């Protein structure tokens, strides 16, 4: 979910319900084992916990990003299709809501990528995530020259090594269980392939993480921390429409399905979302673009860009307008673990408490969960 919001009316985040007990401050949560296991990740991010908020279109904006950072995690703004001026506004609005660290996710295919990097540099953004493909050399250099720390996505070990040689300061390995645009390999496999081979690298694991027990297992395998999106998309502070959040609460894991590529002549990155009428609409869109390609009406690049614009519009219909039948309800397979609309602080507190308990259990002991 990395396209990002566009200009226009911005829904307000909901406040916690009356009588809700305030969550413990991040510093009050005792997690010595988790802290030790994620020391490199926490130092890299500058946050209380090594938990990144996944950049989600229309969702990862000032309200949710600041809430994640205030709760001890590390919020990340989804820039996506934003023009530079709007990104500058979003960064400033987020900074007005938190004095804790947060980052910005930029799409490498954005036509104004150099200007967006310049906006981040001007605003002294501490961490930049380059997503949507292998980052070009000039973009890597520009981020590094700004003084920001650079994170990039590694879909396999060879690319992970290449990114580190090119200057990436940390990696995110995201499994196909994740929501939104996904790769072909599960996190269970990526973790086994990449983490033991790069023990000195700062690596955050993502995809299908919904419980603290999974965080404990991943850091024991060598991850420096984790990234979550789906659990945060349905929180109180998320500006997503109530019907969008309700769809999350009602959906089992099997309803979060990956899109199908109809024709190899039009390669498209698979997208994981809840199955609905919009799923069929995307197939129809692909057929339309293949036919236009065959007639020579559009180039391959233009066809791919139009499909990306389709996803951004379809996701807006679901997230902002609440059309969960015809819009794109992007969600990871951890959606089955979303059972209530909780404050971000409560979600993070539960995750780290569960992870600490799992790390404290003797090897081979049953969790009782």
Where in the chain are the domains? 30-240+339-360, 242-319
Residue 5 has pLDDT above 50, yes or no: no
CB 273, CB 330: distance < 8 Å: yes
| pTM across the whole model | 0.92
Backbone angles phi, psi at 139, to 5 degrees: -70, -40
* pLDDT given at position 263: 85
Quote the CA–CA distance of 235 and 341 in Å, as a whole number.
5
Q: How confident is the model at residue 11 (pLDDT cuts 50, 70, 90)?
A: low
Q: 210 near 179, Cβ under 8 Å?
A: no
Q: How far apart are the two ends of the chain, measured CA to CA in Å?
A: 30
**pLDDT tens-digit series, residues 112-168:** 999 999 999 999 999 999 998 899 999 999 999 999 999 999 999 999 999 999 999
277 burial via Cβ count (<10 Å: 0-12, 13-18, 19+): exposed
Residues 318-338 have pLDDT tens digits of 999 999 999 999 999 999 999
Going by their DSSP bridges, the two strands 203-206 and 180-181 should be labelled as: unpaired
pLDDT recorded at residue 233: 97
For helices 84-95 and 62-70, what crossing angle results, to 10°? 40
Q: Is residue 26's pLDDT more than 80?
A: yes
What is the homologous superfamily of the domain 30-240+339-360 according to CATH? Aldolase class I (3.20.20.70)
- Phi/psi zone of residue 132: left (φ > 0), alpha (ψ -120 to 50 degrees), beta? left
């Amino acid at each position: 979910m990395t396209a990002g919001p566009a200009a226009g009316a911005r829904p307000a985040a909901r406040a916690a319900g009356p009588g809700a007990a305030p969550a413990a401050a991040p510093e009050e949560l005792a997690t010595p084992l988790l802290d030790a296991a994620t020391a490199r990740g926490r130092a890299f991010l500058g946050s209380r916990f090594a938990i990144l908020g996944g950049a989600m279109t229309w969702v990862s904006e000032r309200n949710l990003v600041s809430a994640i950072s205030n709760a001890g995690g590390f919020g990340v703004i989804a820039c996506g299709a934003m023009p530079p001026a709007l990104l500058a506004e979003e960064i400033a609005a987020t900074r007005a809501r938190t004095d804790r660290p947060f980052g910005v996710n930029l799409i490498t295919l954005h036509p104004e990528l150099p200007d967006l990097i310049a906006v981040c540099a001007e605003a002294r953004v501490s961490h930049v995530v380059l997503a949507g493909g292998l980052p070009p050399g000039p973009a890597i250099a520009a981020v590094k020259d700004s003084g920001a720390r650079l994170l990039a996505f590694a879909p396999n070990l060879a690319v992970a090594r290449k990114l580190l040689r090119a200057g990436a300061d940390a990696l995110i390995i995201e499994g196909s269980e994740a929501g939104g645009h996904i790769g072909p390999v599960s996190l269970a496999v990526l973790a086994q392939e990449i983490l033991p081979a790069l023990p000195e690298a700062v690596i955050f694991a993502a995809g299908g993480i919904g419980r603290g027990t999974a965080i404990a297992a991943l850091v024991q395998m060598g991850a420096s921390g984790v990234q979550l999106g789906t659990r945060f998309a349905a929180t109180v502070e998320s500006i997503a429409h109530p019907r969008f959040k309700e769809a999350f609460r009602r959906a089992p894991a099997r309803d979060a399905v990956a899109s199908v590529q109809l024709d190899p002549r039009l390669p498209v990155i698979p997208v994981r979302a809840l199955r609905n009428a919009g799923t069929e609409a995307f197939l129809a869109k692909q057929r339309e673009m293949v036919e236009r390609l065959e007639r020579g009406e559009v180039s391959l690049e233009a066809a791919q860009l139009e499909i990306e614009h389709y996803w951004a519009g379809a996701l807006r219909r679901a997230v902002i307008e609440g059309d969960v039948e015809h819009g794109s309800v992007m969600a990871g397979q951890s959606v089955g673990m979303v059972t209530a609309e909780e404050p971000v602080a409560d979600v993070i507190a539960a995750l780290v408490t569960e992870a600490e308990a799992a790390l404290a259990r003797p090897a081979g002991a049953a969790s009782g969960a």
